[in-house]
């Protein structure tokens, strides 16, 4: 064997080893290895902190809370991936306030198109519990959007502020399923279904919804919708008839919502905080918010690794579609229909 062939074999061997090494690294970072390893890293534990936004008396404080994003329970941030809205962490904040006697008021900033019926109801119930047991004021500051579930969680507030260009309203319930029966038939895919009852595969993507099933689903939607209307009527001290005038799913600007009685004043977050201070003698109260850290340098390294070896934008979109349509569910949601 001459020198050229030896050189070619050596180069081929180096390339093979290099390729195997790269594929191994990708496999590790795309597997659950590091999600399991997270539990062994001390920095992965959520470290809840309080950050002072405006200094003042520490025994008389205002808690600043923020709901930013779709109200869904998608898990918590890790050192490898951050989530925009952490539902469990937000519920924990409400629990902290329930047992913290130094908190004498809440400013809730809402910037959300809504979300799940269950998650919205969980927030609503905890806010009611705080009002009943702590008897402290809750003021809501609507950001660019506080629609559907975003309005649902705002309804029990003592006072709601919206900006003129805030998108709010969208009072109603939506439930969607996807039907790709025609597509499957076109490409030659056939589902074989074995079921214990006539409606066990209701809302299957592989068959049409029957008129009877459509009536069943509409009854469920109507029941949940009525609960939404009742919550708005109770929270805003409005009659059911007046709520239903604008509770047909329509969105409203802040100005129109004020005219409809869905909000109390036009103003930004600063105006909301100032009003709460003035209305309840909390001018000298400290304003603080909760935050958490998923772990110093591990967080930084993890996010860098996630950006390098994590799924592409196309893969993330595909995963979102698959997750969203895995099982239809009722939503208080505007903007992603």
The tens digit of pLDDT for each residue in 43-97 reads: 444 567 899 999 999 999 999 999 999 999 887 766 556 678 999 999 999 999 9
Residues with Cβ within 8 Å of 101's Cβ and at least 6 positions away in sequence, in order, are none
SS3 141: strand
Which residue ranges in the chain fall short of pLDDT 50? Answer: 26, 28-45, 297-298, 300-301, 303, 314, 317-318, 321, 325, 337
Name the residue among 24, 102, 48 with its Cα closest to residue 295.
48
Give the Cβ contact number of residue 245 at 10 Å: 12
pLDDT at 312: 54
pLDDT at 177: 82
What are the φ/ψ torsions at residue 280 (nearest 5 degrees)? -125, 20
Q: Are 287 and 52 in contact (CB under 8 A)?
A: yes
Q: What pTM was computed for the model?
A: 0.77
Residue 325, CA distances (Å) to 89, 208, 329 in order: 25, 16, 9
In angstroms, the CA 148 to CA 171 distance is 5
- For 145-184, write each residue's pLDDT tens digit: 999 999 999 999 999 999 999 999 999 999 888 888 888 7
Q: Are 136 and 320 in contact (CB under 8 A)?
A: no
pLDDT at 17: 60
In angstroms, the CA 300 to CA 156 distance is 39
Name the residue among 69, 52, 49, 74 with its Cα closest to residue 61.
52
Q: Are 122 and 157 in contact (CB under 8 A)?
A: no
pLDDT at 75: 77
In angstroms, the CA 41 to CA 33 distance is 13
In angstroms, the CA 117 to CA 231 distance is 13
In angstroms, the CA 64 to CA 316 distance is 32
Kindly list the catalytic residues.
148, 200
């Amino acid at each position: 064997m001459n020198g050229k062939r030896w050189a070619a074999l050596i180069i081929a061997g180096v390339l093979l080893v290099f390729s195997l090494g790269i594929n191994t690294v990708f496999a590790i970072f795309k597997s659950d290895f590091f999600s399991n390893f997270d539990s062994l890293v001390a920095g992965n534990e959520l470290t809840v902190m309080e950050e002072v936004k405006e200094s003042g008396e520490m025994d008389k404080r205002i808690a600043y809370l923020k709901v930013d994003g779709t109200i869904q329970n998608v898990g918590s941030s890790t050192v490898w991936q951050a989530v925009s809205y952490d539902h469990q962490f937000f519920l924990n904040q409400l629990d902290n306030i329930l047992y913290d006697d130094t908190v004498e008021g809440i400013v809730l900033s809402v910037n959300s198109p809504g979300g799940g019926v269950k998650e919205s109801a969980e927030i609503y119930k905890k806010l009611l519990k705080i009002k009943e047991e702590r008897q402290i004021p809750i003021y809501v500051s609507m950001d660019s959007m506080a629609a559907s579930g975003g309005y649902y969680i705002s309804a029990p507030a003592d006072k709601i502020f919206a900006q003129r260009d805030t998108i709010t309203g969208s009072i109603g319930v939506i439930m969607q399923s996807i039907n790709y029966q025609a597509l499957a038939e076109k490409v030659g895919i056939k589902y074989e279904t074995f079921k214990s009852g006539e409606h066990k595969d209701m809302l299957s993507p592989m068959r049409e919804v029957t008129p009877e099933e459509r009536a069943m689903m509409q009854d469920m939607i109507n029941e949940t919708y009525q609960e939404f209307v009742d919550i708005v009527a109770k929270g805003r001290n409005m009659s059911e008839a007046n709520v239903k005038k604008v509770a047909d799913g329509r969105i409203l600007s802040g100005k129109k919502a004020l005219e409809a009685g869905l909000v109390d004043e036009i103003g930004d977050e600063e105006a909301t905080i100032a009003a709460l201070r003035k209305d309840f003698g909390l001018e000298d109260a400290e304003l603080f918010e909760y935050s958490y850290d998923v772990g110093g340098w591990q967080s930084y390294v993890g996010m860098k690794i996630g950006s390098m070896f994590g799924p592409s934008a196309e893969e993330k979109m595909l995963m979102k579609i698959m997750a969203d349509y895995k099982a239809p569910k009722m939503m208080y949601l505007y903007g992603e229909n």
